[in-house]
């Protein structure tokens, strides 16, 4: 998940604050357009010249925007802006806006491009404008802005395409759920260094009738933005509950209990009834709740830590366990760990990959392991691809590992076979 865009928003605007003395001209009619402005303090008068006389149009105060046509394309100012008292403004350059627009939800981008295009067309035919500037000049000015398409409009148009593609995809996902096209592939998690099976992680796959097997990164982010991720995650939870007894059976009875972990998108955390829904599914399946683990990321907790903390407590009260996924990549403010009810830390693949080549990664893993021990958490290292990584991780005291070295994520039937083989080989 991305870091909060709200943060750099403030930073940019802070840097671009300008003060004007009373009667200072901010821009003049027929100046080239550059920026738009938001009034922080003071007052600005917008006026125009008619027949050599100043005609005041409007006075604007704190929170109001002026000069916004600069954001919509090249051209010249059609009015003058003067500070009528000591005034402070934030400058919004087209570049800042463009950056923000590319960051936002494509659907918002789509609506914005629609509104801006309408606004431009409306200005184009505005009788007031036409009378003032003369029809020929206005026509040229507006056509050049629209036809040549400044970078801003190009970005908006790209957003529009993305938005449409996402809406189509969201609809396709909903249909694919009805048609049972989503299945979990499950990847073993084993003890280190013995390699005894501890559990599995369920990873969603889309069996698309035309496109084949689609990996989650191609649809989960879209599913998150369009809310359908909830249905996907609850579906995976159901599938996980179904497969636990089958896997356990292959272990040869109940002597060692394995678990299946399920990924839970962070966007669920503002839903009041998260634990209720999860509890309902687990109960209905009849599976022992301690054999289900929910994997969440740090960013999910950081949205509203107080709410997240309550949700996690409720989930644990149901008997399920919680794993913190991709640990080390997000906020990783180690101080908050004690605030949340967590059972397992999953160390991100990025650190495991570099554990031999990069001393810093080794130090980070060592710190995470010792921290986990302090809080009595078990640790799973993700993305183990070679034997040397096993020895390095085991030496640091890392309990469990997951990665291609042991197995790629497997379809359910192959996973059952894997359990049989593994128990024979490693116990």
| Site for ligand C2E, rule CB under 6 A | 187, 203-204, 215-217, 220, 229, 232-233, 236, 263, 265, 325-326, 349, 383-385, 402-404, 409
For ligand C2E, the closer CB: 289 or 383: 383
Check if the beta carbon of residue 294 is closer than 8 Å to that of residue 322: yes
Q: Which of 48, 30, 36 is nearest to 128 (CA)?
A: 48
Name which of 72 and 202 has its Cβ closer to Ca ion.
202
213 token code pair = 């097997």
Smallest gap from Cβ 322 to ligand C2E, in A, equals 14
CB of 237 to ligand C2E, least distance (A): 9
Residue 213 CB, shortest distance to ligand C2E, in Å, is 10
Output 295 or 343, the one with its CB closest to Ca ion. Answer: 295
The neighbouring-strand residues paired with 87 are 20
Asked if 155 is part of the footprint of Ca ion (rule: CB under 5 A), the reply reads no
Residues comprising the chain, all counted:
427
Q: How far is the CB of 231 from ligand C2E (least distance, A)?
A: 10
Binding mask 23-42 for Ca ion (x = CB under 5 A): --------------------
Of positions 224, 250, 295, 298, contacts Ca ion by CB under 5 A? 295
Under the criterion CB under 5 A, does residue 325 sit at the interface with Ca ion? yes
Q: Which of 326, 343, 389, 399 contacts Ca ion by CB under 5 A?
A: 326
For residue 319, give the 3-state DSSP assignment.
Answer: coil
Nearest approach in angstroms of CB 361 to Ca ion is 16
The CA-atom distances, in angstroms, between 105 and each of 5, 115, 159, 166, 257 are 12, 16, 9, 10, 43
Cβ density class 277-314: b for 16+ within 10 Å, e for less:
ebbebbeebebbbebbbbbbbbbbbbeeeeebeebbeb
| C-beta of 145 vs 380, nearer to ligand C2E | 380
Quick one: what does residue 337 bind among Ca ion, ligand C2E, none, with the CB cut-off 5 to 8 Å set by partner type?
none
Q: Report which secondary-structure segment, H or E, holds 412.
A: helix 412-426
- Least Å from the CB of residue 321 to ligand C2E: 16
Angle (deg, nearest 10), helices 229-250 and 274-285: 30
How far is the C-alpha of 260 from the C-alpha of 134, rounded, in Å? 72
Instruction: Report the 10 Å Cβ neighbour count for 369.
Output: 20
Instruction: Choose between 105 and 150: whose C-beta lies nearer to ligand C2E.
Output: 105
**Rounded CA separation 40/20 (Å):** 11
**Least distance from ligand C2E to the Cβ atom of residue 61, Å:** 46
Residue 385: name its binding partner from Ca ion, ligand C2E, none (Cβ under 5 to 8 Å by kind): ligand C2E
Instruction: State which residue has the least CB distance to ligand C2E.
Output: 403
Structure tokens at 96: 């800042």
CB of 416 to ligand C2E, least distance (A): 19
Whichever of 250 and 325 has its CB closer to Ca ion, that residue is 325
- Closest CB to ligand C2E among residues 217, 306: 217
Q: 363 vs 333, 354, 381, CA distance in Å?
A: 16, 11, 14
Distance separating alpha carbons of residues 357 and 353, to the nearest angstrom:
8
Helix, strand or coil, per DSSP, at residue 103: helix
For Ca ion, the closer CB: 224 or 295 = 295
Burial class (CB in 10 A: 0-12, 13-18, 19+), 89: buried
The position carrying tokens 């949700």 is 311
Q: Which does 321 bind (CB under 5 to 8 A by kind): ligand C2E, Ca ion, none?
A: none
Kindly tell me which of 248 and 407 has the beta carbon lying closer to ligand C2E: 407
* Beta carbons within 8 Å of 406's beta carbon, 6+ residues apart: 188, 190, 195, 384
Q: 82 or 264: whose CB is closer to Ca ion? A: 264
- Which one of Ca ion, ligand C2E, none is in contact with 220 (Cβ closer than 5 to 8 A by kind)? ligand C2E
End-to-end C-alpha distance for the chain, whole angstroms: 38
- What's the closest the beta carbon of residue 3 comes to ligand C2E, in angstroms? 17
Q: What are 229's two structure tokens?
A: 């991720």
Q: How far is the CB of 387 from Ca ion (least distance, A)?
A: 21
Is residue 78 close enough to count as binding Ca ion by CB under 5 A?
no
Residues engaged in binding Ca ion (CB under 5 A): 263, 295, 325-326, 382
């Amino acid at each position: 998940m991305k870091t909060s865009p709200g943060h750099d928003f403030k930073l940019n605007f802070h840097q671009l604050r300008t003060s004007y003395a009373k009667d200072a001209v901010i821009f003049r009619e027929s100046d080239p357009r550059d920026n738009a402005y938001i009034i922080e303090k003071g007052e600005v008068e917008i006026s125009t010249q008619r027949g050599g006389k100043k005609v005041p149009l409007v006075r604007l105060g704190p929170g109001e925007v002026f000069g916004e046509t600069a954001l919509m394309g090249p051209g010249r100012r059609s009015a003058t802006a003067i500070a009528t008292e000591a005034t402070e403004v934030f400058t919004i350059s087209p570049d800042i806006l463009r950056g923000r627009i590319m960051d936002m939800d494509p659907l918002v981008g789509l609506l914005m491009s629609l509104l801006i295009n309408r606004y431009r067309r409306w200005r184009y035919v505005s009788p007031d404008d036409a009378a003032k500037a003369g029809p020929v000049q206005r026509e040229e000015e507006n056509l050049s802005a629209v036809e040549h398409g400044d970078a801003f409009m190009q970005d908006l148009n790209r957003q529009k395409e993305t938005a449409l593609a996402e809406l189509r995809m969201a609809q396709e996902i909903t249909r694919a759920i009805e048609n049972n096209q989503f299945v979990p592939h499950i990847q073993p998690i084993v003890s280190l260094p013995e390699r005894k099976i501890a559990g599995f992680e369920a990873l969603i796959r889309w069996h698309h009738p035309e496109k084949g097997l689609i990996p989650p990164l191609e649809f989960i982010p879209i599913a998150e933005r369009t809310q359908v991720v909830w249905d996907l995650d609850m579906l995976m939870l159901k599938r996980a509950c179904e497969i636990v007894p089958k896997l356990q059976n292959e272990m040869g009875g109940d002597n060692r209990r394995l678990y299946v972990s399920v990924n839970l998108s962070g966007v669920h955390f503002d839903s009041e009834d998260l634990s209720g829904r999860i509890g309902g599914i687990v109960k209905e399946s009849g599976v022992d709740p301690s054999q289900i683990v929910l994997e969440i990321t740090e960013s999910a907790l950081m949205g509203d830590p107080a709410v997240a903390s309550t949700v996690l407590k409720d989930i644990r009260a149901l008997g399920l366990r919680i794993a913190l996924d991709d640990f080390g990549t997000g906020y990783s403010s180690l101080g908050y760990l004690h605030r949340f009810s967590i059972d397992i830390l999953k160390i991100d693949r990025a650190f495991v990959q570099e554990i031999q080549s990069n001393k810093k990664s080794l130090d980070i893993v060592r710190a995470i392991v010792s921290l986990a021990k302090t809080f009595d958490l078990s640790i799973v290292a993700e993305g183990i691809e070679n034997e040397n990584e096993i020895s390095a991780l085991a030496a640091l005291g890392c309990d469990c590992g997951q990665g291609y070295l042991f197995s790629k994520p497997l379809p359910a039937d192959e996973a059952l076979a894997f359990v049989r083989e593994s128990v024979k080989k490693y116990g």
